[in-house]
């Protein structure tokens, strides 16, 4: 009989051990699920966030202003980039570059890379210290004022204007600008039709407009593109104004006689670097240059039209130049026909 009882106890133990295993597995599952879900969600939001293209919103430099005596020890500095939600960006490998304004030598930095540096005062006066935070193609710069005093002598740095950023301006690389009616620029009815292969003006001014994410449009630069008789298109590099900040923009181009055109896609402008502009073509016929092709342009063209008879009203050389859409020195059936072909698009972007 005792033998039987023993067997029962042994079985009970076995069941308990089984239950312990199940309980342990349940506890592990309960712990793992929320952690996995949290990681998956945070990774997803991070990816969406990074894809949005505006990771670095601002930089803070500590201290926010430097007031130091020539006799003082080096001053510890730190920089930190913040995202659009005003949260510090610890989760990315941000590159921090430190620099002093090149127009003065009030001090020097012990390090020019990394989150921390030290400022060593050298000369009495005012200066500017900048930190540029960059990640991927994003670049954000912040500057703070530096005052180096000498005992009782305190420099008056109030109103010292921020120097312009030290970076070289960005420039746009135009690899193929097709002007309708010129070379192989095509026209509105046929993108590959040949126009005047020997234009009189081999250089054309392009006005560059950039529009930021808030819809602010700025005239960002003017420059020339040059005609290539072999390719029949215009090419060239145009520097942007040094007031243009690094960032992503919509790009619009205007040239005399041509309607303004918005170029497809986003152009990423980085100080000191070039941005390649994809091939585009411009529509001609804007004789009065008001970014529309309409009856007024037609009337100006007809004023200067001259085939067998002299032009009816074209004593102004500039008027004739603008009416000569094919750029061959004459305003005649070539220009008239080109104008009619272009009419399907009446106003520029």
Which residues of the chain form contacts with Ca ion (CB under 5 A)? Answer: 286, 288, 290, 292, 297, 324, 326, 328, 330, 334-335
The residue (of 212 and 334) whose beta carbon lies closer to Ca ion is 334
For residue 230, the minimal CB distance to Ca ion (Å) is: 22
User: Per the structure block, which two tokens stand in for 205?
Assistant: 């001014």
Closest CA to 136 of 45, 206, 52: 52
CB of 215 to Ca ion, least distance (A): 25
What's the number of CA atoms in the CB half-sphere (13 Å) around residue 169? 14
Task: Show the tokens assigned to 329.
Answer: 């020195």
Least distance (Å) between residue 313 CB and Ca ion: 17
Indicate the residue among 273 and 288 with the shorter CB distance to Ca ion: 288
* Cα–Cα dist 284/207, whole Å: 15
Q: How far is the CB of 263 from Ca ion (least distance, A)?
A: 21
Cβ proximity to Ca ion: between 121 and 195 the closer is 195
Q: Which is nearer to Ca ion, 237 or 306 (CB)?
A: 306
Tell me which H or E stretch contains 241: none
Nearer to Ca ion, 36 or 229 (CB): 229
Nearest residue (CB) to Ca ion, 56 versus 259:
259
How far apart are the C-alpha atoms of 114 and 272, rounded to whole Å? 21
Calpha distance 110→116 (Å, rounded): 10
How far the first Cα of the chain sits from its last, in Å, is 101
- Beta carbon of residue 288, minimum distance to Ca ion (angstroms, whole number): 4
Q: How far is the CB of 270 from Ca ion (least distance, A)?
A: 35
d(CA 86, CA 100): 26
Residue with structure tokens 């104004």?
Answer: 241
């Amino acid at each position: 009989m005792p033998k039987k009882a023993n067997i029962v106890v042994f079985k009970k133990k076995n069941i308990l051990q089984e239950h312990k295993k199940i309980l342990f597995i349940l506890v592990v599952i309960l712990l793992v699920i929320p952690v996995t879900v949290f990681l998956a969600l945070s990774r997803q939001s991070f990816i969406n966030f990074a894809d949005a293209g505006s990771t670095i919103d601002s930089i803070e430099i500590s201290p926010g202003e430097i007031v130091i005596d020539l006799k003082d020890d080096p001053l510890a500095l730190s920089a930190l980039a913040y995202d659009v939600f005003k949260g510090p960006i610890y989760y990315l490998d941000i590159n921090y570059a430190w620099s002093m304004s090149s127009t003065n030598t009030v001090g020097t930095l012990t390090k020019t890379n990394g989150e921390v540096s030290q400022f060593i005062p050298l000369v009495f006066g005012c200066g500017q210290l900048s930190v540029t935070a960059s990640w991927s193609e994003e670049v954000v710069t912040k500057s703070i004022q530096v005052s180096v005093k000498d005992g009782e002598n305190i420099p008056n740095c109030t109103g010292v204007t921020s120097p312009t950023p030290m970076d070289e301006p960005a420039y746009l690389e135009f690899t193929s600008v097709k002007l309708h009616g010129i070379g192989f620029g095509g026209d509105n009815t046929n993108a590959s039709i040949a126009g005047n292969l020997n234009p009189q003006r081999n250089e054309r001014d392009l006005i560059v407009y950039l529009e930021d994410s808030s819809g602010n449009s700025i005239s960002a630069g003017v420059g020339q593109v040059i005609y290539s008789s072999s390719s029949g298109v215009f090419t060239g590099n145009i520097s942007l104004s040094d007031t243009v900040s690094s960032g992503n923009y919509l790009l619009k181009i205007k040239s005399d006689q041509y309607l303004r055109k918005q170029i497809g896609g986003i152009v990423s402008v980085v100080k000191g670097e070039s941005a390649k502009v994809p091939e585009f073509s411009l529509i001609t016929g804007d004789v009065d240059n008001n970014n529309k092709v309409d009856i007024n342009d037609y009337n100006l063209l007809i004023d200067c039209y001259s085939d067998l008879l002299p032009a009816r009203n074209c004593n102004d050389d500039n008027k004739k130049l603008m009416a000569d859409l094919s750029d061959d020195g004459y305003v005649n059936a070539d220009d008239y026909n080109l104008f009619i072909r272009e009419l399907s698009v009446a106003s520029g972007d």
